Structure 1
Amino acid sequence: MRWIIKPVPSQNEIDELARVLKVDSLVAQLLLQRGITTYEEAKKFFRPQFSDLHDPFLMQDMDRAVSRIEKAITTGEHILVYGDYDVDGTTAVALMASYLRERYPHVATYIPDRYNEGYGISKQGIDFAADNDVTLIIALDCGIKALEQVDYAHQKGIDFVICDHHRPGETLPKAVAVLDPKREDCNYPYQELCGCGVGFKLIQALEINSGGSVDGLIPYLDLVATAIAADIVPITGENRVLAYYGLEVINSQPRIGFKAIIDQIKKKALSITDVVFIIAPRINAAGRMKHGQHAVNLLMETNLEAAKKFASEIETYNADRKNLDREITEEALVQIKENDEQQNFTSVVYNENWHKGVIGIVASRLIETYYRPTLVFTNSGDKMAASARSVKGFDVYNALDACSEYLEQFGGHKYAAGLTLDKAQYHKFKVAFEKTVSETIDPNLLTPEITVDAQIDFHQINPKLMRILKQFAPFGPGNMSPVFMASRLRDTGYGKGVGEEEKHLKLTVLQDGNQRFGAIGFNLAPKWPAIKSKSHFDAVFSLDENEWNGRIELQFKLKDIR
């Protein structure tokens, strides 16, 4: 791994911010590295307020979206809330549909089938709307490239309001309103909303227009926080406000569906990391293994017993997903090893029998072993479909765009995308993708990188520092948990491998004097021989708390050792 130490601000800047905020220089340095230079900025960071949210009507087409929805309600039209089958899409559908249903009865939901319809707006979904006398579809987390589908709906007398956050193509669909902060002609101040976040801005606008306030929307923020966490968008700006209050809702008054999941896992206070690794995979499992509508049903359920039944079913889907994920990853690793001479800069694997619902997870797993842009293909009807994942710093969406002559469709983000192609194009595309990546990627990006916030000595580490660092949460892209580097460490001699197959490293470390800290390094057991002689080493780690027998002690979560 490459250790990249962030530039240290000038000592004058550090001293001035430390004086203004009455914090020590280490905390001031960490804040400056996050772009926080004044008391007011620090106040917004540590104490997010709803007043920090932007006016939703600053978003292009928001007035048109609100006007069309209000007209539908006034004239008694049937509304269909349509969304993608992943966490962002299903939470967005639950958010919009539950908000509208509290005010109006004729609202239905629709999640496309991952296998029969694929990603985005389908003609099958539009036919369903037409068959049920729907005249307005609100699409969430999809639709920005659905030019043909929106035209098809128009022929059937159906209007569209699109809420998306993916990159638009050159032409926008001819919808009544297209809400997407990434539109070139949209001057909305914050571009990093997820699909559910754009949906939240729409209900905020509806609430303002009806004389309400944003405070009345607090109960919906558990959905928004979950989507922010799962979609790995930056937890900065508005996303930080929404995630901060959304976590409070999850931990104090979660909706019935979340309560059913949390009761099963028996965990007290959930962090944003817990949402990513505990709640999100379970919601996702419905769309991966069965149908995304199951997740929407759970998230909109108001009866606890019914929600527990839904949650139990989803728990089974999640267990099945884990088993498939493990099996397919093992098969894909074998395939990469066999093909490795032809693929130096990318990993592209294919098996017609792999489950389409887990290929995105498998792509992420493969990057843990072979750190390079990765595509995992399987069959989808008479076509081939793939999930793409990238390494830090490389835009896989742009690489796919450069190979688009071989693709039927593609879409997504810098680090994650989906695509379909005709089977006859697979080998040509595979060669073109390898060539594109090899010519455009910085070779350094093929080595995993750890970004270090600050070098630290043990005397600086104490419970007060930990209390302040906990207030930096919620963590995520744009505000990662602080990472430290310490030098000239030694193990006390009791280090060992722990866990399944003893692949994790547990030790107690000291630096110069007698102060010592416990440390755990996941998957770092191979590093043990290098330090068991009690020779000096450097370590990169984040700070954590370990609770044991009622005692709480500071602990290092090791990321690397050298």
Structure 2
Amino acid sequence: MIQKKWIVAEDPPPDQVAHLAAKLGVSLLVAKILLQRDTGAPEQANLFLNPQLTDLTEPTIFPDMEKAIDRIISAINGSHHIMIHGDYDVDGVTSTSLLYLTLQKLGAVVSYYIPNRLSSGYGLSETSVGAAVHRGCKLLITVDCGITAAKEIDLANQMGIDTIVTDHHEFQNVDIAAYAVINPKALPPDNPAYFLAGVGVAFKLVQGVYYRLGYKLSDLIPYLDLVAMGTVADLVPLINENRVLSRFGIKQLANCVNPGLQALLDVTGLRRRQLTTGQLVFVIAPRINAVGRLGDAQLAVRLFTTKNPQQALNIARTLEEKNRRRRSIDEETFQDAYRIIEQDVDVENVSVIVLASENWHQGVIGIVASRIVEKYHRPTVMISIDPKKKIGKGSARSVEGFHLFNALKQCEEYMDGFGGHKYAAGLTIHPDKINLFREALEKVAGAYFSTEDTTPKLRIDCEINPDEIDDHLMKNMKKLAPFGPENMRPVLLSKGMNIVGSPTVVGNNHLKFRVRKQNLTHEAIAYRMADQYYDQLQFERPRLNLAYVLDENEWRGRKTIQLRIKGIKFYDDF
């Protein structure tokens, strides 16, 4: 694994830290972090620490919202069939479930459609429009997709179907003849709703319809758990409106009434616990994504829309089994990709890694691409080739600073299609063009990296003495939650730690050990670092400088603090 360059943030002026801490009633450490993250103005910091549902923007700030509300209410009153067209990831599944449940409650005639990742691919298609026609649909509402589906929306119009597009992806140079388009990217970038996930956009639509019909925001609180799951899992910035929705949605998860959510929390052992964004991303989301990655994500929508607890439990157990299979396929694919890189790729002299194989399951290549990026710190494209159809479907992941979508745009002549954003993208390509595509992308990336510092960086918020780590500190740090992009869990630095006892290798290359400075001992876990550090920690036993985030473990009702290691340096080399 490539060593990261540690960058420790500069401490703000002590008088500013003390003033903010006193004003807000928080610890000096929390005040320091707020100032470092440009949330240091007292009023702004108070809004950040204490978000309220009343902070949510009015849904009618969206262009076309009034028009969309009118059309939906007309469809409900006329008993016209509404079909929700979703997507197969967590954001798409929760968006679909949210809209289905809330429209059903209003008496709508409503159904849903989720494309099969393997046979249909992403977004609206001729097949899905055909399904809408077959069902007698008069109104088609997309969630988490549709912003580029000009041809498919034209087809729907020809069939007498109105389309309301709700999406959060970037506008492209495509004119779509939809009845209404609800997309936060049509708002100014400083609008609190600008970074909403697909489920957040769907929530704004529901909010608008419910308000028009005389309902209150409190009537929508039971659905915020779905909104939080989709928002957190889609890795959108957890600031502004996303912070409000995820904060209250996670709170709702602890007391959820949705039978499917209850079942999923039961099988994962998280029922009736106060959840964290980390548990949503690494425990809950993979189980929902697994069915979409391996085939039909409609099973996940059935989980969240069923009213039958036993059916919900059966589906949740199926998701658990699918996720076990997905993990196995992940590991096989990663090992195969790793072997190819070590044999055939001169990593030191390339700017991007582009790999292709007929043996890879297209549902997992995105996950594997992320692992390759983590290991080699190169933008990575993984392409699964279907030799019969002569088509390759790729997933791409990037590194900090390299805008993947813009880079792919410069290579679009070699692809049949692509879409995505700064750090992740998907593409389709003819197998015969993969080498040309690799050369073109290498040229784009090489030009960028020749002028930029490409060393991976570990950004550290502040240095603390280990004796400051206690329940009081943990309680204060929780005030900054929920954590996610643009509000990551603070990374702390402690120097001169001594190893206690012997380190242990657990799971898949994870290193567990204890450290002490003075008289305090702390448990630590370093994920995927055992192969790099076990021998030195066991036999050389150097003093350590540790960069870490604070985690809270709960076992049989007892909570303990654990250091989740982000980086290790030896004290004498620092």
Q: Residues 540, 105 of structure 1: CA spacing in aligned structure 2 closer, same or farther, 3 A cutoff? A: same
Q: Match of 1:236?
A: 239
Q: Residues 515, 285 of structure 1: CA spacing in aligned structure 2 closer, same or farther, 3 A cutoff? A: closer
Q: Match of 1:349?
A: 355
Distance of 1:548 and 1:282 partners within structure 2: 22
Which one of the candidate residues 66, 71, 82 is aligned to 1:68? 71
Q: Residues 189, 490 of structure 1: CA spacing in aligned structure 2 closer, same or farther, 3 A cutoff? A: closer
Q: Unpaired runs of 5+ in structure 2? A: 570-574
Kept in 1: contact 2:499–2:513 (CA 8 A): no
Q: Match of 1:539?
A: 546
Q: Match of 1:467?
A: 475
Which one of the candidate residues 4, 17, 20 is aligned to 1:17? 20
Deviations 1:122-142 (A, max 9, x none): 011101111222121000101
Q: Is 2:515 aligned against 1:508?
A: yes
Distance of 1:443 and 1:186 partners within structure 2: 28
Deviations 1:112-159 (A, max 9, x none): 121222111001110111122212100010111111111111111111
- Name the SS for the 1:142 alignment partner: coil
Distance of 2:396 and 2:485 partners within structure 1: 19
Q: Match of 1:422?
A: 430
Distance of 2:511 and 2:130 partners within structure 1: 53
Aligned-residue identity in percent: 38
Q: TM-score, normalised by structure 1?
A: 0.94
Q: Match of 2:120?
A: 117
Kept in 2: contact 1:200–1:224 (CA 8 A): yes
The amino acid of 2:494's aligned partner reads: A
Q: Match of 1:497?
A: 504
- Name the SS for the 1:138 alignment partner: strand
> After the TM superposition, which residues 87-98 of structure 1 pair with which residues of structure 2 at under 5 Å, given as runs?
87-98=90-101
| Greater displacement, 431-440 / 268-277 | 268-277
Deviations 1:363-388 (A, max 9, x none): 11222222211111013533211011
Kept in 2: contact 1:66–1:205 (CA 8 A): yes
Give the Å deviation of 1:334: 1.1
Q: Is 2:3 aligned against 1:5?
A: no
Q: Residues 545, 285 of structure 1: CA spacing in aligned structure 2 closer, same or farther, 3 A cutoff? A: closer
Q: Residues 256, 441 of structure 1: CA spacing in aligned structure 2 closer, same or farther, 3 A cutoff? A: farther
- Name the SS for the 2:382 alignment partner: strand
Deviations 1:74-108 (A, max 9, x none): 22221110011111111101111111111124111
Distance of 2:286 and 2:223 partners within structure 1: 20
Deviations 1:366-420 (A, max 9, x none): 2222221111101353321101111122211111111111122111121111111
Give the Å deviation of 1:231: 0.6
Distance of 2:508 and 2:212 partners within structure 1: 59
Distance of 1:307 and 1:534 partners within structure 2: 50
Distance of 1:534 and 1:503 partners within structure 2: 18
Q: Match of 1:286?
A: 291
Distance of 1:108 and 1:174 partners within structure 2: 23
Distance of 1:248 and 1:436 partners within structure 2: 45
Kept in 2: contact 1:466–1:543 (CA 8 A): yes
Q: Residues 445, 172 of structure 1: CA spacing in aligned structure 2 closer, same or farther, 3 A cutoff? A: farther
Kept in 2: contact 1:403–1:432 (CA 8 A): yes
Q: Is 2:493 aligned against 1:485?
A: yes
Q: Is 2:171 aligned against 1:163?
A: no
| Aligned length in residues | 559
- Name the SS for the 2:175 alignment partner: coil
Give the Å deviation of 1:442: 6.4
Q: Match of 1:319?
A: 324
Q: Residues 535, 109 of structure 1: CA spacing in aligned structure 2 closer, same or farther, 3 A cutoff? A: closer
Q: Match of 2:572?
A: none
The amino acid of 1:300's aligned partner reads: T
Q: Match of 2:522?
A: 517
Q: Match of 2:315?
A: 310
Distance of 2:189 and 2:533 partners within structure 1: 50
The amino acid of 2:290's aligned partner reads: A
Q: Match of 2:302?
A: 297
Deviations 1:10-46 (A, max 9, x none): 2332122122123342221012123322443333223
Q: Residues 188, 456 of structure 1: CA spacing in aligned structure 2 closer, same or farther, 3 A cutoff? A: closer
Kept in 2: contact 1:495–1:505 (CA 8 A): no
Q: CA RMSD in A?
A: 2.1
Q: Residues 59, 397 of structure 1: CA spacing in aligned structure 2 closer, same or farther, 3 A cutoff? A: same
Deviations 1:279-330 (A, max 9, x none): 1111111111120111111111111011112112222221211111111111
Q: Unpaired runs of 5+ in structure 1? A: none
Kept in 2: contact 1:488–1:538 (CA 8 A): yes
Distance of 2:529 and 2:119 partners within structure 1: 42
The amino acid of 2:20's aligned partner reads: L
Distance of 2:450 and 2:476 partners within structure 1: 37
